[in-house]
Amino acid sequence: MASEEERFPIIVRADHIPGPKQGAWTYNHYAALSNHRQRYEIIDGVLYMVPSPCGIHQRISVRIGYYFFLHIEERGFGIIYPAPFDVELGPHTVVQPDMIVQMHNNNKVSVPSHMIGPPDLVVEILEPHTVEHDRGRKYNAYARGGVREYWIVDPLAQSVEIYALETSIYHLLGVFRGEDFLPSWVIKDFTVRVEQLFI
């Protein structure tokens, strides 16, 4: 018989996990969890169980990582971290973005065992079970946490939405498709077309 954790192909509150009451979870509680095969995130102190991504998601993630590597690390501008890598945005918010960009001039971040503070750019690749989480809870958490740029990649629509943070509020720079170039505020001279992420 499948365990409770194996039966959820969606993001759910992990109310059954022993620990503090929901709303009071912190990174220290999270780091002490014994099931390291299960992915978890904490938003506003609430622990969520997050399923593993699908194959298409992972192929897109590899392509994004490749282009980020060429335009960021190869040029000496910063470092990229693919998931799973923990980002502690605040005392009660720990997330694992699909892709993380930390520019070298970002002095708000430290990276001991995990990233503490806001990265410069995060990417989330939508799946049917993550849409509400990525467009709602995580969107708000990234804005509150001070993440300068947020990309939402939609494999079904083959589009990329880019949000830029101004005065603690995200503003949509646009929804980009096909031959559109991706106009990042964080990555200078990013000469990549949307279609290159989905081929």
pLDDT confidence of residue 174: 98
143: three-class secondary structure by DSSP = helix
pLDDT band at 1 (very low <50, low <70, confident <90, very high): very low
What average pLDDT is seen over the chain?
Answer: 92
pLDDT confidence of residue 134: 97
pLDDT digits (tens, 9 = 90+) for 139-190: 999 999 999 999 999 999 999 999 999 999 999 999 999 999 999 999 999 9
In angstroms, what CA-CA distances link 184 with 27, 36, 76, 187, 193?
A: 30, 34, 17, 5, 12
| CB-based burial, 70-80: b 16+ in 10 Å, e otherwise | ebbeeeebbbb
CA–CA distance, 12 with 152 (Å, rounded to integer): 20
More confident residue, 177 or 1: 177
What totals of helices (H) and strands (E) does the chain contain, helices first? 5, 12
CA–CA distance, 154 with 117 (Å, rounded to integer): 26
pLDDT confidence of residue 6: 44
pLDDT digits (tens, 9 = 90+) for 10-45: 899 999 999 999 999 999 999 999 876 889 999 999
pLDDT confidence of residue 112: 79
CA–CA distance, 56 with 61 (Å, rounded to integer): 9
More confident residue, 103 or 199: 103
Is 50 exceeded by the pLDDT of residue 5?
Answer: no
Q: What percent of the chain has pLDDT over 90?
A: 87
pTM for the model: 0.93
Mean pLDDT of 67-74: 97
pLDDT digits (tens, 9 = 90+) for 75-90: 999 999 999 999 999 9
